[in-house]
Structures are given as C-alpha cells and as structure tokens.
Amino acid sequence: MVRTYVNLTRIRTNVEAIRARVGVKVIGVVKADAYGIGAVAVADAISDLVSGFYVFHSDEALDARLAEVSGKSTLCTVPGENDDVAFYLEHNIRPAVWTVERAARLARAKPVLSVDTGMQRFACATDQLDAVIQAGQITEAFTHAAKPEQATQLKDLLGGRGLRLHAAASALIDVPGCQLDAVRPGLMMFDGAVRVTTPLIDARPTKGPLGYGGLTNPTGHHGVILVGYSHGLRNGPVLINGRRQQILEVGMQSAYVSLDPKDRIGNEVCLLGNELTPQTIGKAWNSTPHEALHRLASLGEKTYAT
Ligand SMILES: *Cc1c(COP(=O)(O)O)cnc(C)c1O
C-alpha cells in the first residue's frame, strides 16, 4: 500500500549541480540500496556523471551490479566472504584498506587507504599510514569526515604526495577547503527526488479519547493508514490534500493521522516529499535525515520516472 516515487532526472540534476559547484569529481554514494531508493536505478541514472561509486559492503556492489551497469569502479569499506585480488578485479571493486597485511595482499586491486581522522573504525591510525601506503602501493586515500577539521587533517597528513584525496560527504560538500580531489555525496544527491505515499483507509470524526493512548485530536477528525512501527514508522508530520497533519499514534501495522473534515478515504497521505524533507522527518524522529530517507524510501513499491 506504500508507494515510493523516484525522480531520476532530479537526482541527475542534483549531481550536475554538485559537480558544477565543487569543481572536482563526484563519487556517488549508493550504499544501503541507495538509501532505500534503489541502487540499480540510481547508479544507472548517474553513471556518466560520477567518477565511481561508494558502497559500504562489497556484496552491495554485486547486488547493484555496479560494474556492469556503469563500467566504473566502486570503493567498498567492508569485505564480504570473497576478499581476494581476483574477485575485486573481476567486479571493478577497490577495497578500502587500513592494515599493512591486507594492503600488501590486495595491492594489485588498487586498494584505497582509509584514514582515521576521528571516526575510530574501519580506518588506519596516523602512525601506520606510511607503512600501509608502501605495502599497498596506494594511489588514493579517503577519510569519513564528520567535521571540516577532519578533511583538513587528511590533507595535512597526505597532501603533496600525488595521492587522490577525498573526505566530504553531503554535510561538508559546500564547506570551503573540504572538497580536495573528489567529494562523496549520498543524501544530497537525493534532495527533492523522493516521494513516499500511502492511501487513507479510514476517515471519521473523533469522538473522545483516541487509540491505545487515549489521545486528544486537535483537528476533530482522524484517519488511519496501513503503516505502523513494524514498518519502521514513527510519529511525525504528514501531508494530506496539501495540509500538514500529524501522525497521532503509531500502532504495529497501522497509524492514526489527524485529518481535515474534507479529507476522504482513498486520499493520498504523503509521508515524505514536497515540504516533508528527510531533514524535517529526521528531526521529528529525533534522528537523522539519512535514517528517515532510508526507512521511508525502502517502504514503498518503487516507481521511477525520468
Ligand atoms: C554514507 C557515506 C557518505 C555519504 O554521506 P551523506 O551524508 O549521505 O552524503 C560518504 N562517505 C562515506 C564513507 C559514507 O559512509
């Protein structure tokens, strides 16, 4: 009953705009099935605009058939069962490395050095950098940066050695000095490109305390949607017939929403899209835009438009 509408042209336009702004290459982050939007479709839509892709786990590169779809390489942080040079060459995967042993073993697969600038996971401590660079014949290095200082630190540590360096995810893409030789946007590529909707399956006047919690409903009318906490839904705003309404209570497989008296069964309830950005929903959930986008986009049956 949930539908996810993806505007692939908008995703392309976003990537083009990022490219124009930063003036360096873009690595498209399509991990977790492109934030629930569909990695195969997204990768296909942007493959000519990016220098390559990033996913978390190497299995994701295979699932999305990234090498076949794009002909471009994919940087992967975590190895699957297959962690050998032949496997990586076959699938055009460049494994992230942070130990001397693995860098040496995978050198022919052009591994990419992952540098720890504070995240303290999946990355190389600064006193090991030279050894890993040498062992893996490293030509490229990155860091997963939450703050501008981490991007600058990567440059301070490894700049001037002819290595391709990148640090910036969406939050740092427009911060001066963070672009380095490439940027790695995920979230920002999907700005305004995703709408998630579900139909109203009940609509009625509210008579007294409502639901499990005995809620009061300020609008005096309420409805029900067939999405609940078992699907990952949480309290927050929705849009119904252009008006902002509230999820009043989330049950296991359904939820109450406030309604305008004019709203009818079958009307579309928008869970994400238009003014309901991942940022807005993430805030309502006391979480991140990433989680809101991933969870809601994953929920729906996908329709892709170009
Ligand atoms: C998820 C991720 C990104 C992209 O982050 P956004 O905030 O979605 O742009 C970039 N780099 C790495 C290593 C990541 O894991």
Q: Confidence class of residue 69 from pLDDT cuts 50, 70 and 90? A: confident
Query: pLDDT by residue (tens digit) across 136-153?
Result: 999 999 999 999 999 999
Give the model's pLDDT for residue 72. 96
Query: pLDDT by residue (tens digit) across 249-262?
Result: 999 999 999 999 99
Mean pLDDT rounded to a whole number for the chain:
97
Whether 187 is in the pocket of ligand 1, judged by its Cβ within 6 Å, is yes
- Which of 29, 117, 140, 294 should be mutated for ligand 1, with most atoms under 8 A from CB? 29
Beta bridge partners of 78: 57
pTM score of the predicted model = 0.96
Q: Confidence class of residue 296 from pLDDT cuts 50, 70 and 90? A: very high
Whether 185 is in the pocket of ligand 1, judged by its Cβ within 6 Å, is yes
Percent of the chain with pLDDT over 90: 98
Please give the distance, rounded to the nearest whole angstrom, from the Cα atom of residue 234 to the centre of ligand 1.
Answer: 24
Within 13 Å and on the Cβ side, how many CA atoms surround 184?
A: 25
Give the pLDDT mean for 192-209. Answer: 98
Whether 166 is in the pocket of ligand 1, judged by its Cβ within 6 Å, is no
Query: pLDDT by residue (tens digit) across 19-56?
Result: 999 999 999 999 999 999 999 999 999 999 999 999 99
| Cβ atoms of residues 199 and 266 within 8 Å | yes
Atom of ligand 1 nearest to the CA of 189: 9
Whether 186 is in the pocket of ligand 1, judged by its Cβ within 6 Å, is yes
Give the model's pLDDT for residue 94. 98
Atom of ligand 1 nearest to the CA of 290: 8
- Which of 184, 190, 290 should be mutated for ligand 1, with most atoms under 8 A from CB? 184
Give the model's pLDDT for residue 245. 98
Q: What is the DSSP code string of the chain?
A: --EEEEEHHHHHHHHHHHHHHH-SEEEEE-HHHHHTT-HHHHHHHHTTT-SEEEEEEHHHHHHTTHHHHHS--EEEEE--S--SHHHHHHTTEEEEE-SHHHHHHTGGG--EEEB-SS--SSSB-GGGHHHHHHHHT--EEE---SSHHHHHHHHHHHTTSS-EEE---GGGTTSTT--TTEE--SGGGGTT-EEEEEE--EEEE--SSBTTTTB--TTSEEEEES--GGGT--S-EEEETTEEEEEEEE-SS-EEEEE-TT--TT-EEEEEBTTB-HHHHHHHTTS-HHHHHHHHHHHSEEEEE-
Please give the distance, rounded to the nearest whole angstrom, from the Cα atom of residue 240 to the centre of ligand 1.
Answer: 32
Give the model's pLDDT for residue 190. 98
Least reliable range by pLDDT among 60-74, 220-234, 248-262, 269-283:
60-74
Query: CA dist 164 to 25, 104, 182, 195, Å?
Result: 11, 19, 8, 36
